Amino acid sequence: MKFGNYMTLEFPSKSSNEAFARTAVACFAAQLDPTLEELGDIRTAVSEAVTNCIVHAYPEKLGAIMLRCRILKDNTLDIVIRDKGVGIPDLEQARRPSFTTGGSDRSGMGFTIMESFMTTFEVTSQPGKGTSVHMRRKIRQRK
């Protein structure tokens, strides 16, 4: 699929970088002229994906988080967030609402939130090799 503009970022899995990633994607998405609701949904989905990397992918150490955004020709924001962490041994179980490996302070709703706020959502993972979250959000063109 053709794309018009893109950006890539790589940053360590520090909790302070969750807000950075969310803001960077929102600023990049602004060129599509999204509504405040669309922008809020995008920010929330990115926040959930990056937080998953920080909490689950690298539980004992810092690691790299890679983020890529593209503007596709059909006014769609394409986002990939990838880590090279521990991976997810049972992806079907991990996608169930309320399932978490992050302890009692985690809701287990991250994948559910991402999927509900984006037009398309896909997650792939290999234990010991990492996880990739691919999300797209079609932005309504205003008249």
Whichever domain contains 122, its CATH number is 3.30.565.10
User: Looking at residue 14, what is its pLDDT?
Assistant: 96
User: Looking at residue 8, what is its pLDDT?
Assistant: 97
User: Looking at residue 40, what is its pLDDT?
Assistant: 95
Is residue 40 one of the residues assigned to a domain? yes
Choosing from 18, 48, 82, 136, the catalytic residue is 48
Mean pLDDT, contiguous 10-residue spans, the chain (143 residues)? 86 96 96 95 94 89 96 94 88 59 56 84 93 95 73
Query: 126 pairs with which residues across the strands?
Result: 130
Is residue 102 one of the residues assigned to a domain? yes
Say whether 52 is catalytic. yes
**Residue of 77, 79, 74, 69 whose CA lies nearest to 137:** 77
Is residue 23 one of the residues assigned to a domain? yes
User: Looking at residue 77, what is its pLDDT?
Assistant: 96
Choosing from 68, 75, 95, 106, the catalytic residue is 106
User: Looking at residue 99, what is its pLDDT?
Assistant: 54
| Sign (positive or negative) of CA dihedral 93, 81, 107, 138 | negative
User: Looking at residue 101, what is its pLDDT?
Assistant: 56
Domain count, the chain: 1
User: Looking at residue 103, what is its pLDDT?
Assistant: 52
Choosing from 17, 22, 43, 52, the catalytic residue is 52
| Domain enclosing residue 124, as ranges | 3-138
User: Looking at residue 109, what is its pLDDT?
Assistant: 63
Say whether 75 is catalytic. no
User: Looking at residue 64, what is its pLDDT?
Assistant: 97
Is residue 105 one of the residues assigned to a domain? yes
SS3 of 92, please? helix
Is residue 54 one of the residues assigned to a domain? yes
Say whether 18 is catalytic. no
pTM score: 0.84
Is residue 68 one of the residues assigned to a domain? yes
Instruction: Specify the DSSP class assigned to residue 54.
Output: I
Is residue 143 one of the residues assigned to a domain? no
